[in-house]
Chains A and B, each alone.
Chain A
Amino acid sequence: MKSEAGTLLTLAAFFALTSLFAIGGANSAIPEIHRFAVDVQHWLSDRQFADSFALAQLTPGPNLIIVTLIGYRVGGIAAAIVATLAMCAPPCVIAYLVGRTAERFKGAAWHNAISRGLVPVTLGLTAASAIVIVSVADINWVAGVVTLATAVTAFSMRLHPLWAFAVAALLGAVGLI
């Protein structure tokens, strides 16, 4: 059993490093957070991870509040704050520095190359996040049907996420999932 300070340090180091590779935001880091929190540290079970992800989706705010929730689960309020700040601080410092100088390199060739180079990587990361959530949430065929039906509906029309969540939660409440 690790000391409390040791756990806080582990959380801070992990999320600070992960934040630099979360292209587009915390949802790109879902597989990495799952790998570390569930497989490496055994802080949560698959089921608790799926529940945490769902609760973060149901709470208004940026996607990165899943990090707050996982920190809270691991070590209460202090860990929640440490994890969230670690996930925010490195990108915020970069945004602060770049935000003051950005006018100078706008439209540069290397800037365009990086932007275009990140597109397929972001796509791969989003697909990886989806498959990781599928693997922890789709515990039976009904949940799998909910995933597919939501995907098809959201792809073919504008769908407010809360509608999809409400229908899916109702199916769970009546015992179908």
Chain B
Amino acid sequence: MTSETDPKPGQALLSPPTIGQLFTTFAAISLSGFGGVLAWARRILVEQRRWLTADQFNETFALCSFLPGGNIVNFCVIFGTRTRGPLGALVALGGLLGPPMILVMIVGAVYAHYGDVPVLHRMLTGVAAAAAGLMLAAVAKMVRPLFKNRAVAGPAIALATFLAIGILHWPLALVLLAIVPASVAVAWRRA
């Protein structure tokens, strides 16, 4: 059994993963994660396998959240590349995406047959309503730090993004091409 606790400082990292381990590990991370794969990526890569220190994990993750696309997908590409090169990135991606893709297609095929059964539809509506609630909670948690520095620019930008995308249903690319440069310019001037 592997330990669930953080490795002690100075404790040696284990040797980097093989190609096969990259596939199985990212498949395990992917299939463990409901509503957020990140916690499992940390537990498995840092605590169980000890391929990364907690600091290395945080730094790589900070880089990923700054790039477009899913954080865990980016993480998997960067970790795979750094340990086993381009092939490592592809294999890790295959592990991350392959098994859930197969699962979700099976789910899709079942839904195509039984999606019109009223009780199933009502259950799914309940799940979607709960998932919307989880997103609202995530929003509420992000709101507090935004108002901390008493600047109006942050809340104004968040509100403009919300209105343009959520209420007016404008195309995402056009909205972000206008808002992101403005928001970054404000952050730059305040630095």
Contact = CB atoms under 8 A, between A and B. Distances in A.
A100 B67 CA distance: 14
Contacts of B166: 31, 124, 127-132
B101 A65 contact: yes
Nearest to B157: A120
**Binding site of B, secondary structure by majority: helix, strand, loop or mixed?**
helix
Contacts of A167: 130
A147 B143 CA distance: 18
B20 interface: no
Interface in B161-191: 161-162, 165-167, 169, 171-173, 176, 179-180, 183-188, 191
A132 B172 CA distance: 13
Interface stretch (B1-9, B45-53, B91-99): B91-99
B187 A138 contact: no
B73 interface: yes
A1 interface: no
Nearest to A169: B123
Contacts, number: 372
A58 B130 CA distance: 11
Contact of A25 (B70, B103, B140): B70
B131 interface: yes
A113 interface: yes
A92 B74 contact: yes
A54 B127 contact: yes
Interface string A139-169: 1000110111111111100011110110111
A95 B78 contact: yes
B135 A88 contact: no
B138 interface: yes
Contacts of A60: 30-34, 100, 103
Nearest to B37: A62
A119 B34 CA distance: 24
Contacts of A22: 68-70
B187 A99 contact: no
A124 B161 contact: yes
A150 B104 contact: no
Nearest to B77: A95
Which of B67, B119, B143, B165 counts the most A-chain CB atoms under 10 A from its CB?
A: B165
Interface in A109-129: 109-129
B71 A129 contact: no
Contacts of A154: 133-134, 137-138
B64 A120 contact: no
Contacts of A152: 137
A62 B109 CA distance: 20
A147 B31 CA distance: 26
A9 interface: no
Given A92-B69, A118-B66, A124-B158, A57 B127 contact: yes
- Enumerate the 4 nearest inter-chain pairs by beta-carbon distance, A residue then B residue, closest first: A91-B69, A61-B100, A124-B161, A150-B133
Given A91-B73, A130-B138, 17 more contacts: A61-B99, A63-B70, A69-B105, A94-B67, A98-B78, A112-B187, A121-B179, A123-B161, A125-B165, A127-B158, A133-B131, A133-B132, A143-B126, A165-B131, A168-B127, A169-B126, A173-B119
Interface of A: 17-27, 29, 31-32, 35, 39, 47-48, 50-65, 68-69, 72-73, 77, 80-81, 84, 87-88, 90-92, 94-96, 98-100, 102, 106, 109-134, 136-139, 143-144, 146-155, 159-162, 164-165, 167-173, 175, 177
